[in-house]
Chains A and B, each alone.
Chain A
Amino acid sequence: MPARAQSFDIRQSVGRSVLGAASHTGRFSFFLADAFRGLPEVRIWWPRMLIEAWNIGIGSLLIVILISAFAGAVTALQTGYQFTGSIPYYVVGTLVVSSIILELGPVLTALILSGRIGARYAAELGTMRVTEQIDALESLGRSPASHLVLPRVIAGFIMIPALTVFANLSGVAAGWLSVKAVLPVTDADFVYGAQYYYRPFDAYYSLIKAFFFAGAITTISCYMGFNTQQGAEGVGKSTTTAVVASSVLILVLDVVITRILLNQ
């Protein structure tokens, strides 16, 4: 009997999860459709978008530069540790620049911002939901999508790729300085190596990834905030879910985009 009861519970649990996932997929689609419908209302979302863009950009710039610089430095130092002398020194420039621009810059920036911006958006909108501020907007015949969602999503699409550029620059600069401390690499060697395997597409690839990551962070966190339930506990739950879900999606997108754009 206990075994039968257990299998019944598992079926119920799986069924509930499948229904939950289907329900989220449906609601997320409607949420995105609502947001798209708000696009023509430029007069409403434009001024709010500028404020959000300022908050995201200026507020996150220092932490993004700092973390990317440390990542660049560690990449360079580990490269130095693994060098045995059989490979030309200029290769270190290739390794640092490629690692930062192709992977570490966009992914680390996105993961930092999923915590910083994603949590903020989910908590802000979640609090607005539980304090009926979103209902109040609707009751005034105004669209929550153009007042609340679009300014945040569009600001993310603009500022997250821009922050990724700063992350790439600081990561490469920190890597360059660090590698000179552990290996006898000249500036000319580093620049030669950096340019040797560099293709202009690498920079576009970095920005394409940042653009998709921006979409994942902003839409998921706004969606979770919008669907918050049950007071303060619900706000906490939405915030956690937003950060976890957007972080996982960033890693999944990283693999998918790399497979599509770099391994054809």
Chain B
Amino acid sequence: MISLRGVTKRFGTQTVLNGVDFEVQEGETVALLGPSGTGKSVLLKHIIGLIKPDSGSIVVDGKDVSHLDRKELAEFRQSIGYVFQNGALFDSDNVFENVRLGIVDESKFKDLDYATERVTQCIKLVNLQPDVVLQKYPAELSGGMRKRVGIARAIAGSPKYLLYDEPTSGLDPVNADIIDGLVKRLDEELGVTSVMVTHDVRGAFRVADRLALLSEGKIVMQGTPQEFLESKNAKVQEFLERDFDNPSFAA
């Protein structure tokens, strides 16, 4: 379970998160919605301890992430797979080495036979052909392929939680649909708990069990897709209207 209580974060004079309360139950997929620049990615990075809050608590599986020491944080991160917005693949390593780095257990990482089998398995899970992509470098891949390799790396260590940072941003609608389908399938097949940051409302409705809307540094609403569609909250309605001319389409 992931639980954020009163999380506040300022960068200089700008308050990005202002007392955020956010909760994710075991096994569910939550889409964190909000316009660009509202701090969705910042919130996601708090969960994995890449950013420390100015105040408030972030508790994952009973551990307060912001109070873990270096070693505890490294161990804690092994239970989380993080999919970065643009893949964040290592330029100097090929796809095989990139995905292999996701195998967080050191003995399994060093076992080349296991690593080869696991990397191949993960590459197939994200609908890529191992014999085509494994020896390629990130610069030789398309944007969609890079995102999928990023997902393969995130799941290689069999994490309990998956955090997706804008997995469909910058993709054409067809590729965005493929990634959305992939996220849903992985959540079902692997049984992980997922948080997906996105501003793509249609994708969020397709994939998530619950939605949360972040606006002006606060979570203004958390609920099921149906509750969002029925909400009278002005900010929720304003946000949904951008993507749905006819809200019934989403339902």
* A, B from the same assembly: yes
Query: Contact residues of A with B, CB < 8 Å?
Result: 37, 127-128, 131-133, 135-143
**Cβ–Cβ contact A135 & B157, under 8 A:** no
Complex Cα gap A128–B84 (Å): 13
Q: How far is the CB of A213 from chain B (nearest CB, A)?
A: 26
Known: A133-B88, A133-B89, A133-B91. Is A139-B74 also a contact (CB below 8 A)? no
Some 11 contacts from A to B, beta carbons below 8 A apart, are A127-B91, A128-B91, A131-B86, A132-B85, A133-B90, A137-B90, A140-B77, A140-B104, A140-B157, A141-B73, A141-B76
Residues of the A chain whose Cβ atoms lie less than 8 Å from the Cβ of B76: 141
Q: A141-B104, A142-B101 are in contact. Are A136 and B77 (CB under 8 A)?
A: no
Q: What is the CA–CA distance of A136 and B157 in the complex, to the nearest angstrom?
A: 14
Contact A138 B77 (CB under 8 A): yes
| CB <8 Å contact, B84 and A132 | yes
B102 at interface, CB cutoff 8 A: yes
Closest 10 A/B residue pairs (Cβ): A136-B88, A132-B88, A139-B82, A141-B77, A141-B74, A141-B78, A132-B84, A133-B88, A141-B104, A135-B50
Q: Mark B22-52, 1 if CB is under 8 A from A, else 0.
A: 0000000000000000000000010010100
Q: Which residues of A contact B91 (CB under 8 A)?
A: 127-128, 131, 133
Given contacts A135-B84, A140-B157, 14 further A-B contacts (CB under 8 A): A131-B91, A133-B88, A133-B89, A133-B91, A136-B88, A136-B89, A139-B82, A140-B77, A140-B101, A140-B102, A140-B104, A141-B73, A142-B74, A143-B74
Report whether B101 and A139 are in contact in the complex, using a CB–CB cutoff of 8 Å. Answer: no
Measured in the bound complex, the distance between the Cα atoms of B74 and A142 in whole Å is: 7
Which of B45, B75, B84 contacts A141, CB < 8 Å?
Answer: B75
Q: Which residue of A lies closest to B110 (CB)?
A: A43
**Shortest CB–CB separation between residue A122 and chain B, in angstroms?**
16
Task: Give B157's nearest chain A residue, CB to CB.
Answer: A140
Q: How far is the CB of B114 from chain A (nearest CB, A)?
A: 17
Q: How far is the CA of A139 from the CA of B78 in the complex (A)?
A: 8
Tell me, in angstroms, the Cα distance from A185 to B118 when the chains sit together: 71
A138 with B50, Cβ < 8 A, contacts A132-B85, A143-B74 known: yes
B104 partner residues in chain A, CB cutoff 8 A: 140-141
The distance in angstroms between the C-alpha atoms of A131 and B91, with both chains bound, is 10
Q: Mark B137-159, 1 if CB is under 8 A from A, else 0.
A: 00000000000000001000100
- In Å, the complex CA distance between A143 and B101 comes to 12
Is the CB–CB distance between A139 and B90 below 8 Å? Answer: no
Per-residue interface assignment for chain B, residues 63 to 87, with 1 indicating a CB less than 8 Å from any chain A CB and 0 otherwise: 0000000100111111010101110
Complex Cα spacing A142 to B89, Å: 14
CB–CB A139/B80 < 8 A: yes
When chains A and B are docked, how far (Å) is the Cα of A139 from the Cα of B90? 13
Task: Report how far A128 CA is from B89 CA in the complex, Å.
Answer: 9
**When chains A and B are docked, how far (Å) is the Cα of A230 from the Cα of B101?**
27
Which residue on chain B has the smallest CB distance to residue A44?
B106
Cβ contact of B45, chosen from A127, A128, A135, A143, cutoff 8 A = A135
